[in-house]
Each structure stands twice: as structure tokens, then as C-alpha cells.
Amino acid sequence: MELKKLLNGVEIKEIVGEMNQEIKGIAYHSKKVEKGFIFIAIRGLEFDGHKFVDEAIRNGAEAIIVEEDQKFNGKTMVFVSNSRKALSKIASNFYGNPSSSLMLIGVTGTNGKTTITYLLESIFKKAGFNPGVIGTINYRYEGKIFSAPHTTPESLELQKILWEMKNEGVSHVIMEVSSHGLDLDRVTDCHFDCALFTNLTQDHLDYHASFQKYFEAKRRLFSDILVKSMKDKKFALTNIDDPMGEEIVKDINLKVIRYGLKPSSDVTANNIKTTFDGLSFDVKTKGNNFRIHSKLAGTFNVYNILAAIATCIEMGIPIEIIKEGIKSLEIVPGRFEKIENKKGIRILVDYAHTPDALERALLSLREIMKDKENPEGKIITVFGCGGDRDRTKRPLMGEISGRLSDLTLLTSDNPRTEDPLTIIQEIEKGLKSLSLREWSKEEPFFWRSEKGYIKIPDRREAIRMAIKLAHPFLDTILIAGKGHEDYQIIGKKRFPFDDRIEARKALEEE
């Protein structure tokens, strides 16, 4: 594409050099530059692309986008105030603005995003659509599955994926929109038909610094990006039960659909029945009342299902199709996922890595076990917290696990460059606030007599200990924090590790 066409819509401060040359590709990493490319210098979380301009030119860059002063070296230099926004616009231009030709649904919030994308995908398939998904677990369409280095890809990769989906005949794209993706302008030039809010609780404060900034990043999807979308029938959905549910859609002057358990909701639920095998409940809308059956367990999933129902009703999908799509979804990987076994040990693996998610998971377990009228059944929780991430949530999660579990096995998550024992000690503060007993690894079999916790830094060992301690047909184990992840990050290296695989191996050894 000709450079001057590629720059259409970019906010430019100054241009030095020619504008008529053909650009063959785009790169924001200097090592990926090829002859005839445009290089866009962006500031990353670890590296600043402005320091690699010379390398990009040596590799064949024909034009350079920068924010700060750079000496002219014969290549066209384009100065902008925000190179991330420039990258987003240039990528959209290069790939022909693909989101304008797709039905694009953005799902944002702290918890529930992944499950909602799976629910919508299942319903859309039943409706005869051809959906694609961009999210935490993977990016997928037309039977193709790609690993997901980020929940929301960088704008260049995102626009390329949307372009490929469009060319493959995808009709609807469901995208998890992260706070990082919003703050870093990854979705700025996406044209959404729908933006959906799940909930907002403490997360990513290591990046955003405050809850208010975290909220403001999420709100951008509604107040800025959705409002500016070129789509004619765009609309928003919000969880009316969440404290930030109304704030996030305030003053957007678009159609807003509210879901939740409050009677004032546009789509609401009652007569909820929950078991280890799934959920059933009555749905009430302004035009229809019907009962839903889902194989997804956990009362928190009522909200996720309501969100999917509200979206599909607004899109005109028949109720029977919606019911079939929900019922046909067997599992969401690593989301309250049951580890089936013949030994009668109930094991659930869940991605809960925030205080709110952990509390919801444990409250759901307690509700299920209460319904089974099993007063002797105990909950064993295995969890840790990620290193180099928000430290303030560690004692909060410790307190939640201590309060709602009968035994907590404190272990490692992804310690990264932190000392695993230091992370465990910070979680332990929350358990100590409840005056819970610390059991040693040598005396764990007495734990049924008194609530407490055991520190086992090795996650594999902690999972095995939980399975060894659980009474078949009585107790339930929750392995929380990593969910679908098939790795563990220690230092700066990734090692193969999957909670589900480790649990199955431990069961075989018992």
C-alpha cells in the first residue's frame, strides 16, 4: 500500500521525506522488519522501540514512525504524538478495516469473559453462523486453533487475525477485551457491534496502579470505542448487580441491556438449582419466560449464561436455539472443570486468580455441597499467587480460602522472578488473620478436626497431597489459579505444567 494511503487517519505532527513509496509490510519489532516495511517505534513494558530504529533501517525499513526526535537518515520519518494509536490505525488501513465487515462482540470485565465467549460461540454455531473467538485460552476459527500470547493481541496481530477470519468466511467474532488491550490501544480501530461488561473486582493493580485507573481502562470500550464504532445497530450490555455496572455505561447514549438477578433487569433468573453436574434456572425477559439447563457448574455461571442470553436475544436469535447452544456446551477449559475419575474424588480445576473469583468459586462449592446434605464433606483448596504481579491481593485471597475452605494448601502459581516462599508468606497473612492452625506436612491427617492450612511450595506435591487427603464420595478439591494453563513460569522460563494432567497422574498413583 502507498505510504500516504497507509497513514490515512493517523494524527501526524510532522513528516520528513517522501510519501509516495509502496509499503510491503508493517513491524513494531525491529528484528521482524523486511525490505520495504514501515517500522513503528512503540514503548513496550520492557523495551522502547525508539532505541531500535537504526536496526530497523539496516533490516530494510522504508519509513519510520516515531514519537520523539530522531536524526534524519534518508528514510521517511513520520512524527506522531502516540505511536501505539498510529500502529492501530496503520494496521487497520493495511488490512482493509476488517472489523467493519464482521459482527464483532467485545467482552470485558474481571471475571467471566472466557466462559461467555464459549457460550456465545456454542449458540452462534447452533444458529448456523460461522464464529471466531479471540481470547485468553486461544484464538480459533474454521477449525484452526492458535496459541494466545495475550488475551487481546497487539493491534497489528489483531487486525491481521480479523482479516484472515473475514477471508475464511467467519461471520461473527467474539473477543475478550482486556484492560491492557484497551489501555495499550490494541482495539482502538475495531468497530464493535456489541460491548458486554461482566463485573469489576481487584486485578492487574501492578499495571494500572489503582482500581479507578483499572475501571477507566475498561470503560473506554463503552465510552470511546463502541461510541465511535461505525456499526449502525450497536448496543451495550451490563451486569446490573455489579457496583460498577451502571457507571461503565453512563452517558454513552446507546441502547443498553441490563442483566442480573435484580427484578429490574431486562434479563433475569430465578429458581436456580445447582449441582456438580450443572445448573438449571428460569429466565425472565420482557417478552419470554423459559427454563435453561447447562452442564456448567457453579452459581457464578448464572451471570455468564444470562449475559450470553441477553446478547443473543438482542441479535434476534430464537429462544430454542439459545437453549440448545447453552445445553450443548460441555465444558470451558480450566473454568470449574471437573476431573472425572472412578475413585469418587471430586476435583475441580479453576482459573480463579483474583479474590472475587476465588470467593465465587468457593461459595458455589459450599452451596452445591449444602444441597447434597453432606455435613461431613470438606473443601480442600490448592492455590498460590503469581509472582511479579499485584501483591495486595495475596492476603485477601488467603483470608478467602481460609474462611471458605476446610483446608488450604498454600503453594506456587507462576512465581516468575519472585521467591515462592515470599509469595506464600504474604498469602499466609490472610490465613493468620483468622487465627487458623498451620499443619505441618507430617501431621496432615489430623486436619479434619480443625480448620487450617499447610505450606507446600511445590505445586505438583501440593496437588498430590490434596488427593491423598480427600475422602472419596465426601470431600471436594478445588485447584485454583492456573486453570487452562499448560505451563508454570519459574524465573523467566516456562516449564510444562498442567493442573488437570497433574491431578490425573496423582489419581493414578493413589
DSSP β-ladder status, 476-480 and 437-438 = unpaired
Q: Which domains, ranges and CATH numbers included, belong to the chain? A: 3-94 (3.40.1390.10), 98-328 (3.40.1190.10), 337-509 (3.90.190.20)
Residue 89 host element (H or E): helix 83-94
- Give the span between the Cα atoms of 285 and 266, in whole angstroms: 6
* First CA to last CA distance, the chain: 62
DSSP at 490: E
Q: Nearest to residue 400, comparing CAs of 365, 430, 437, 364? A: 430
Cell of 404: 471458605
Secondary structure (DSSP) of 90-148: HHHHHTT-GGGGSEEEEEESSSSHHHHHHHHHHHHHHTT--EEEESSSEEEETTEEEE-
| CA-CA-CA-CA dihedral for 333, 338, 342, 344, to nearest 10 | 160
SS3 category, 403: helix
Percent helix, strand and coil across the chain, each to the nearest 5: 35, 25, 40
Digits of tens for pLDDT over the chain (510 positions)?
999 999 999 999 999 999 999 999 999 999 999 999 999 999 987 889 999 999 999 999 999 999 987 776 789 999 999 999 999 999 999 999 999 999 999 999 999 999 999 999 999 999 999 999 999 999 999 999 999 999 999 999 999 999 999 999 999 999 999 999 999 999 999 999 999 999 998 677 677 779 899 999 999 999 999 999 999 999 999 999 999 999 999 999 999 999 999 999 999 999 999 999 999 999 999 888 999 999 999 999 999 999 999 999 999 999 999 999 999 999 999 999 999 999 999 999 999 999 999 999 999 999 998 865 566 799 999 999 999 999 999 999 999 999 999 999 999 999 999 999 999 999 999 999 999 999 988 876 778 889 999 999 999 999 999 999 999 999 999 999 999 999 999 999 999 999 999 999 999 987
Distance CA 111, CA 100 (A): 28
Bridge partners of 108, per DSSP, are 197
Distances (CA, A) of 328 to 158, 234, 307, 465: 29, 28, 17, 34
* Beta-carbon count within 10 A of 249 CB: 23
Q: What is the rounded CA–CA span in Å between residue 427 and residue 392?
A: 9
